[in-house]
């Protein structure tokens, strides 16, 4: 019997709901402090730069570069068995924050640090879309 194991579904925390709502609409939106004007990720209730609670979610460009990455060759969770090898990367956005994500649309052998990337959205289901990245062009 060949049963497909579902991938784990993200469970948004209250402070990240605007991030996930924007992602569902295929927009990348991050918290931005109204006092020091800095973006950050992951979402939290206060700005990690100045500790202000005065912030709003703002859409960002979705462009950045691979800061660091690792290629998984081993199956740690059965739900990801069909995807091995796959890349997990830390992408630094043009606006500054770094997101832990996957790199799609390119062989794992061709991923490199400083590679320009742009956001794409992986629709998990009708409620969740996961921001991931692909090489620019």
pLDDT at 37: 97
DSSP per position, 15-30 = GGHHHHHHHHTT--EE
Q: Residue 20: what are its φ and ψ, rounded to 5°?
A: -70, -35
pLDDT at 137: 83
Question: pLDDT tens-digit profile of 95-110?
Answer: 999 999 999 999 999 9
pLDDT at 1: 44
* Blockwise average pLDDT, block size 10, the chain, 137 residues: 76 96 98 98 97 97 98 93 94 97 96 98 95 96
pLDDT at 3: 59
pLDDT at 86: 95
d(CA 64, CA 113) in angstroms, rounded, equals 11
Full-model pTM: 0.90
- The domain locations on the chain are 15-135
d(CA 86, CA 102) in angstroms, rounded, equals 8
Question: pLDDT tens-digit profile of 51-71?
Answer: 999 999 999 999 999 999 999
């Amino acid at each position: 019997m060949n049963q497909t194991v579902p991938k784990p579904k993200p469970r948004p925390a209250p402070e990240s709901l605007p991030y996930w709502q924007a992602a569902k609409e295929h927009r990348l939106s991050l918290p931005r402090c109204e006092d020091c004007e800095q973006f950050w990720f992951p979402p939290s209730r206060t700005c990690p730069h100045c500790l202000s609670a005065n912030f709003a979610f703002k859409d960002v460009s979705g462009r950045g570069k691979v800061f660091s990455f690792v290629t998984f060759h081993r199956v740690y969770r059965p739900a990801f068995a069909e995807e091995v090898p796959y890349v997990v990367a830390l992408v630094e956005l043009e606006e500054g924050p770094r997101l832990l994500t996957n790199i799609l649309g390119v062989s794992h052998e061709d991923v490199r640090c400083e590679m320009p990337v742009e956001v794409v959205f992986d629709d998990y289901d009708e409620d969740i879309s996961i921001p991931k990245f692909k090489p620019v062009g």
